[in-house]
Each structure stands twice: as structure tokens, then as C-alpha cells.
Amino acid sequence: MPTRIEFDPAGIVVQAITAADHPRHVSQIIALYEEAAIEMAWQPGDQISAYPSSSVYFAFEDAGRIQGAVQLVRGGTSEGLPVLKVWPELGLAGRTDVADVALVALRKEFRGRRHLYWALYAAMWRFCLRERISELWMEVPHEKLASYRGLGWPLSVEGPLRMQWEEPCYPCRVSVRGVGEAMIARARRSGTFLKTVEDEYEAAGAIS
């Protein structure tokens, strides 16, 4: 019996968005990130909008505007990866099978609802699987490392603690399959099942 997982919680539609196809939506997402940067006292410089061609955003709308989004920056392009700005020694340049989970933000009134984060991450995972992205990188503030692991993400720290956006962060790696396994574990705990992980792997030709 396949393991079933909640990919699309009722009432939440997550869209994959690029600047080329949806410039108005991307403008809303960038504005959302800039608001979050001010609130969180981040110092991103030009990094929020530095990857226009290689970014794919996964976002949901409510009341006619974007309320939450994840930014995924694809590897193997001339724009590079955010993680390489601080840890250039990681050797990821030119790799097309990697991507950087650069930013995640929800408006204040939507935060604390873990299922919304999972809906965004599940859409991102599905995209990575089908695009043959096998490895995800994240710049994780040291005080939030335990929180990500608490979500079930098997993050591996791959470099020293350094300042990014005026925060001490670690460069972390997780396999796309590892994210899928984390979602399987969540599905088993939640008891809500809408789609199968195995179906997604098979659709992507990822199961031998």
C-alpha cells in the first residue's frame, strides 16, 4: 500500500511563479520579502532581487494578494547561488542538480500555521523532483537550526558559521529525497492523505 501524504491542504492553492511569466506576482513577493526584512532586521542588500532569471517562487494568495512564498534559486546559471556569496568554497558553481531555498516568508497573520509552510514546501519538492534537482541548500541562522530539524528536515551542516545578512548562519544541505521522507513522516503523524509520494516519484521517472 503506497504511503499517502497531504500535498494540497484544502483551500490552499500554491502556484509556481517566475518573473518572466508573472512579473506582477513577483513584484508582490519581493515586496513581501522586503517587509519581512525590515521586521526581522535583516540586512540583505540587493540579494532579495538578485536572481531574477534563476528564481522560481512557490506562493499562495488570499484576498487577492500574495500572502506567503518560498524562493528557490536554481543552480547552473550565470547568476550563481546565494549560498556561494558567503561560502564560495562549497564547489557548487555550474551544477544544475542543486538549488538554494533562498527565502521563506508569510505575512504576520498567516505565520504559525505549519500546514501553510508544508504546502509551500511540498509544491517546491514536487517541482524539484520533476526538474531533476537532487540537492537543496539553505543558509540557516544558528538559532533556527533546531527548528528546521524539528520540522523533520534532515539538514547537514556543510561549512563554518559566518555572517549572512548580519546574522550568523550555517550553510546546510538536504537531499530532495530527504525532504520527501520528512513529508512521509509528517503524513503518518497527521492521518491526512491526498496524494502518494510514490506516484510523484514515478511521474518524474525517479524510481528505478
pLDDT band at 4 (very low <50, low <70, confident <90, very high): very low
pLDDT above 80: residue 207: no
Please report the pLDDT score of residue 13 as a whole number. 87
- Give me the half-sphere count of Cα atoms (radius 13 Å) on the Cβ side of residue 127: 25
Tell me the pTM: 0.85
pLDDT tens column, 25-65: 999 999 999 999 999 888 999 999 999 999 999 999 988 88
156 in any annotated domain: yes
CATH code where residue 82 lies: 3.40.630.30
Domain-located, residue 94:
yes
Q: Which three cell numbers stand for residue 102?
A: 533562498
Q: What is the mean pLDDT of the chain?
A: 85
Average pLDDT over residues 172-186: 82
Would residue 208 count as lying in a domain?
Answer: no
Tell me whether residue 138 is in a domain. Answer: yes
Q: What's the distance, Cα to Cα, between the start and end of the chain in Å?
A: 18
Strand boundaries in the chain, DSSP class E: 4-5, 14-17, 55-62, 65-74, 98-106, 135-141, 156-157, 162-164, 167-175, 195-196
Average pLDDT over residues 99-107: 95
- Domain extent, residue 193, equals 4-203
Asked if residue 103 is part of any domain, the answer here is: yes
For residue 154, pLDDT over 90 is answered with no
Task: Decide if pLDDT at 79 tops 70.
Answer: yes
Instruction: Copy the grid coordinates of residue 183.
Output: 513529508
